[in-house]
């Protein structure tokens, strides 16, 4: 069952923001007249987008391009910095052309995926490519860090469990494998920071993206001199770390000419995409879980203090600084959530419509005739934290149709999310959230949302914000430009519709039994075989031409 509600969400969000204490943060003398607009750029795994909103968060114009990504060999993926920048210019140009007078855009900020960065020389030119956040080439660098520094020490300082995906491992890979490029590198910027630098000419990073590098001291909200020194990296590579929504500078004249932006538009620090999405819909308190559903899927719980617990780290969850002032987060998720859906659709045929697959899956029996899907298409998600884990369909028979196969993926994603939520809330520091707010493109999949609500046995509030990460960045841009006086004031003005998806009574018991008797044991059952496969010579994994 789906219930609809209107823009009364504004009132509930004000209550949410002030439930414990007013959000602290920089204040300005604003606000600007209502005619002032805000803009956000979202550099995502799948798409690069630019959007313009009014002060109430209503989308006025947008443009999107696929994120250029190259896959040179199995488990490797990278982006070319100049291609990322060119796409950004293109979407900005298209977006500004659709709003009439781009001079009304008072502020802009950038959000992006975490864990990826751009090495730059002294002239601000890239010295190498951007290793994608999900790239799998840095296992040996993570192993070296474990031997050199130790998992416990790294987590104690950074709040991030040692994993190959984080920024430091990518820097060490560059140092080891491209020494000439590394020797020319004088700066290393997160992807959002790189785009903000090209927009404004100013280098900085925000706390939320710095938290994804493995080199940021959460207790001090600054770079960890200890971790950087132990890793053998130059401290000079890293720009100043500032709060999200801090004004960096104004749009460069050449960028204004190429994009239609005004040279008076203020560029501010943005943040990590999932965290910006949480900020946009007011998910900033411990009683609210943010479920961000895109190519990857995030489980994000906010709080007033960072959560340092080695057991949580061992499971792959990490803590970091929020874009909301005075807030921190615990983050986990599914690395190939929407990615699993896209993967199956690609195998079944790119011309196949999603609506056709969803209709066929709706006709399939709940439980998918016993077929169970483990969505580990890149690596094991928290709480398993296993880079050797792989995806799997279990229980296939000759009776399985493509509709059943598709439904099993949706059910597997819901089971995996419950597994993650159960694990993180089993720790005494984290209570089970009373509210779940879902954002992202996959919230439009009505069947997936019904299945998930039934598996969790909890209503899910869908925030009908088409591009929540970009909206969060836009609000941060507005803060830096003085459009809003502070974060609480900004969020109290944002308006959007909501839907509530309730559990289906006939499904909750069935899915609970399926989860307890089958899915909770699936990873352990497959683990020995997946470890063996992962340890085989790499030439066995080569993809033929």
Q: What is the pLDDT of residue 228?
A: 97
Phi-psi region of 285 (alpha: psi -120 to 50; beta: other; left: phi over 0): beta
Residue 481 covered by a domain = no
Backbone angles phi, psi at 26, to 5 degrees: -60, 140
Q: What residues of the chain score a pLDDT lower than 70?
A: 1-35, 538-545
Beta-strand runs (E) in 304-354? 318-321, 328-334
Residue 312 covered by a domain = no
Pairing of strands 2-5, 498-501: antiparallel
Domain boundaries, position 137: 37-280
Please state the pTM of the whole predicted model.
Answer: 0.85
Closest among 11, 143, 169, 138 to 75, alpha carbons compared: 138
What does the alpha-carbon distance between residue 134 and residue 131 come to, in Å, rounded to a whole number? 8
Q: What is the pLDDT of residue 538?
A: 61
- Tell me the CB-side half-sphere exposure of residue 221, using CA atoms within 13 A: 16
Residue 355 covered by a domain = no
Q: What is the pLDDT of residue 351?
A: 87
Residue 247 covered by a domain = yes
Residue 188 covered by a domain = yes
Q: What is the CATH number of the domain that holds 219?
A: 3.30.420.40
Closest among 278, 275, 294, 312 to 435, alpha carbons compared: 278
Q: Residue 122: CB partners within 8 Å, gap ≥ 6? A: 186
Please report the DSSP string for 35-68 in residue order.
T-EEEEEEE-SSEEEEEEE-TT--EEEEEEEEPP
Q: How many domains does the chain have?
A: 1
Q: Which residue has the tokens 């896209």?
A: 342
Q: Tens digit of pLDDT for each residue in 239-285?
A: 999 999 999 999 999 999 999 999 999 999 999 998 999 999 999 99
Centre a 10 Å sphere on the Cβ of residue 166 and count the other Cβ atoms it contains. 27
Q: What is the pLDDT of residue 534?
A: 85
Residue 61 covered by a domain = yes
Residue 93 covered by a domain = yes
Residue 340 covered by a domain = no
> Contact, 149 vs 104, CB < 8 A?
no
Q: What is the pLDDT of residue 25?
A: 52
Direct distance between the N- and C-terminal alpha carbons of the chain, in angstroms, rounded to an integer: 48
Rg (CA), the chain: 22
Q: What is the pLDDT of residue 35?
A: 60
């Amino acid at each position: 069952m789906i219930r609809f509600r209107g823009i009364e969400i504004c009132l509930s969000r004000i209550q949410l923001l002030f439930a414990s204490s007013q959000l602290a943060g920089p204040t300005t003398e604003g606000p600007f007249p209502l005619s002032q607009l805000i803009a956000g750029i979202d550099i995502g795994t799948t798409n690069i987008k630019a959007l313009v909103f009014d002060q109430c968060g209503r989308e006025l114009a947008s443009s999107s391009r696929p994120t250029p990504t190259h896959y040179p060999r199995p488990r490797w993926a990278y982006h070319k910095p100049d291609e990322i920048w060119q796409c950004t210019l293109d979407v900005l140009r298209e977006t500004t052309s659709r709003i009439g007078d781009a001079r009304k855009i008072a502020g802009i900020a950038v959000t992006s995926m975490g864990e990826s960065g751009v090495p730059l020389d002294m002239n601000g030119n890239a010295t190498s490519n951007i290793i994608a956040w999900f790239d799998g080439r840095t296992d040996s660098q993570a192993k070296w860090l474990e031997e050199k520094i130790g998992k416990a020490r790294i987590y104690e300082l950074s709040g991030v469990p040692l994993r190959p995906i984080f920024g430091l491992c990518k820097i060490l890979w560059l140092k080891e494998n491209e020494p000439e490029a590394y020797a020319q590198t004088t700066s290393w910027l997160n992807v959002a920071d790189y785009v903000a630098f090209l927009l404004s000419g100013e280098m900085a990073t925000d706390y939320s993206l710095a938290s994804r590098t493995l080199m940021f001291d959460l207790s001090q909200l600054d770079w960890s001199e200890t971790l950087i020194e132990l890793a053998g990296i130059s401290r000079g590579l890293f720009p100043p770390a500032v709060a999200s929504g801090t004004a960096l500078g104004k749009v460069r004249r050449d960028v204004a000419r190429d994009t239609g932006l005004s040279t008076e538009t203020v560029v501010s620090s943005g943040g990590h995409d999932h965290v910006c999405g949480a900020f946009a819909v007011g998910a900033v308190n411990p009683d609210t879980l943010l479920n961000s559903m895109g190519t990857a899927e995030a489980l994000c719980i906010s709080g007033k203090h960072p959560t340092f617990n080695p057991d949580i780290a061992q499971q792959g969850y990490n803590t970091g600084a929020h874009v909301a002032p005075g807030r921190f987060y615990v983050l986990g998720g599914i690395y190939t959530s929407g990615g699993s859906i896209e993967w199956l659709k690609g195998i079944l045929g790119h011309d196949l419509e999603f609506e056709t697959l969803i209709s066929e899956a709706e006709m399939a029996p709940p439980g998918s005739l016993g077929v169970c899907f483990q969505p580990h298409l890149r690596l094991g998600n928290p709480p398993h934290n296993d880079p050797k884990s792989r995806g799997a369909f279990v229980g296939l028979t000759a009776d399985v149709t493509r509709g059943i196969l598709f439904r099993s993926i949706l059910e597997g994603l819901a089971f995996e999310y419950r597994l993650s939520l159960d694990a993180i809330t089993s720790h005494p520091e984290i209570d089970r959230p009373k509210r779940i707010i879902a954002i992202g493109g996959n919230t439009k999949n009505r069947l997936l949302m019904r299945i998930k609500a039934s598996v969790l046995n909890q209503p899910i509030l869908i925030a009908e914000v088409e591009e929540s990460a970009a909206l969060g960045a836009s609000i941060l841009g507005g803060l830096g430009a003085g459009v809003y006086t502070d974060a609480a004031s900004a969020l109290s003005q944002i308006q959007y519709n909501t839907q509530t998806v309730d559990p289906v009574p006939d499904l909750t018991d069935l899915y609970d039994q399926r989860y307890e008797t089958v899915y909770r044991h699936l990873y352990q059952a497959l683990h020995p075989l997946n470890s063996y496969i992962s340890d085989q010579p790499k030439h066995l994994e080569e993809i033929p031409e």
